[in-house]
Chain A
Amino acid sequence: MLETIVVPLAKIVVLLNAVLVAVTFLVLMERKVIAWAQSRLGPMRVGPYGILQAIADPIKLILKEDITPRKADKYVFTLAPIMSLVPALVVFAVVPFGPDPFYYLSDINVGLLFIISVTSIGVYGIILGGWASNSKYPLLASLRASAQLISYEIAVTMTLVSVILTTGTLSLVGIVEAQREGGLWFAFVQPVALMLVFIGGLAETNRAPFDLPEAETELTGGFHTEYSGMRFSLFFLAEYANMIVISAIVVIMFFGGWLQPFPNVPALAFLGFVPPWIWFIGKIFLFLYVFIWIRATLPRYRYDQLMALGWKVLIPVAIGNLVVTGILKVAL
């Protein structure tokens, strides 16, 4: 009873709250980092150095009026934000934060496929949100978004297949263990795959420079134009939770998950005093910083350029990478 129900439930509660709190502070981090990139101070009023802004923002969003447009499809309009947030949170069921079963909810042997398939459900929230608003710009944005997500999903999935070829397992714990046994992070074994997954991840989370679904200047905010209050903040939460998910995937697949750098080098063994889960979370935040950094640096793609990049560059490179990996796997 305790082992099968109470402990997992407690873990789920802790995990969900941790993710949601991380998201609120991630928003603050994004505002601060972008501000510093533009030689501004960012939020400074609420709390010391604006730290409490992370709490003020959600309160503001929750207290705002929740408007449903008159001609909107009421049920779908309400359902869409939920459908976009839930998959992002479900993914954390298989994310391992450390080597022991204490650090993860479950280690299923199709873990990676589970993550790919669950994130592919997230696209419904965006499509339905745009459709249910019964409004021009959101509909356009959601059509754009679905085409973009499906295209980049192909490239990312094909790239992950080449990593699976290297490890021979789909279990996330197994993938990290393979990196420990190999003594080398897969970032050094599969650098092309790392680039592809990271670019694809940017596109799948609708982050700059691929943030066309919510391009403020062209589509007045994109698929969530008609959303306000709590429902808008659910979309917001989903986007940032997805950023954490993509960072976690990149860290697990290519940067050794909870492992310290170069786990087999004795000279670096002193790094072992840092607990594994801190390594994992630290690496995730490093990648979140890269996400924000890219947003502050790069301009947005044009839509045809975006599709051309997805279909004519990323997918062929992903297939080539897969073929090369296969040949090397057989040859070595």
Chain B
Amino acid sequence: MLEITPLHYSLLSAALFMIGVIGVLVRRNVIIIFMSIELILNAVNINLIALSDQLQDLAGQVFVVFVIAVAAAEAAVGLGIIIAFYRNKETVNIDEIQIMRW
């Protein structure tokens, strides 16, 4: 309890990952689903940073930089899609986004 090992960080990361997964599976607002994906990416980052500190190896931190870059790209394109979709259908409810054409 009082000694913090990498396992603690991994468990924190796993729990945050699970919260994100629940968000993706349960919520119906596309924007909140996107935010849950950001939570998932952050959970992965926590793991990478903790192990980078444990192993004294910078590869983990480099990976986090890449993950953040990918997250930025994903957010830009994803939110662009949401805006384009909202313009056509006036909704961001994922249950109403179920046909491939309209």
The answer on direct contact between A and B (beta carbons under 8 Å) is: no
- A residues contacting B by CB (< 8 A) are none
